[in-house]
């Protein structure tokens, strides 16, 4: 992993930990958080959630998904990553415990949007999939790795 990528992954890892802790303020279900280089393992009272930090998606992204685990993929909200989601949609809908988070911690709009392709595929109109994904994408300002590096 390049030094630039390490900086981005570390920044996103810290952001995810803050996000998850904030969501848990009232329920207090987190029992342990284990941070690794490009992943976070969060143990809740009733389940375990693994977040893989992948700022930019590529084909290895899909290989890292364990079908039996609750997996969250955290990536930047970039056009490139949206295109990846659309192009790999038919592969991603096979993972029923997968959620993909598109984030931009510096966005003036929302900071994140997320989707569970398996669930979304069951309830969405196939003809409007691309329009729906693009609409969700636009709720968060787009950001590239280079733009993120300038901000952190």
Sign, Cα dihedral of 103, 38, 70, 125: positive
Structural contact between residues 70 and 49, judged by C-beta atoms closer than 8 angstroms: yes
User: What is the per-residue pLDDT for 66?
Assistant: 84
Helix 129-137 × helix 79-87 angle, to 10° = 160
- Residue 28: which H helix or E strand, with range? none
User: What is the per-residue pLDDT for 92?
Assistant: 95
Bigger pLDDT: 67 vs 33: 33
User: What is the per-residue pLDDT for 59?
Assistant: 85
Output the pTM of the full model. Answer: 0.94
Q: For the segment 6-60, what is each residue's pLDDT rounded down to a tens digit?
A: 999 999 999 999 999 999 999 999 999 999 999 999 999 999 999 999 999 988 8
pLDDT category at 61 given cuts 50, 70, 90 is confident
The full length of the chain comes to 152
- Which is nearest to 111 in space by CA: 38, 22, 2? 22
Buried b (16+ CB within 10 A) or exposed e, 87-105: eebeebbebebbbbbbbbb
């Amino acid at each position: 992993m390049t030094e630039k990528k390490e900086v981005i992954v570390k920044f996103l890892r810290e952001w995810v930990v803050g996000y998850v802790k904030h969501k848990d303020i009232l329920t207090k279900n987190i029992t342990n958080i284990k941070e690794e280089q490009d992943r976070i393992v969060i143990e809740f009272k009733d389940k375990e959630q693994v977040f893989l930090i992948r700022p930019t998606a590529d084909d290895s992204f899909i290989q890292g998904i364990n079908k039996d685990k609750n997996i969250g993929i955290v990536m930047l909200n970039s056009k490139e990553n949206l295109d990846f989601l659309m192009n790999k949609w038919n592969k991603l809908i096979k993972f029923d415990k997968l959620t993909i988070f598109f984030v931009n911690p510096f966005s003036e709009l929302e900071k994140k949007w997320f989707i569970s392709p398996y669930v979304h595929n069951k309830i969405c109109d196939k003809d409007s999939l691309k329009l729906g994904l693009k609409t969700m994408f636009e709720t968060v300002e787009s950001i590239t790795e280079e733009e993120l590096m300038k901000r952190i």
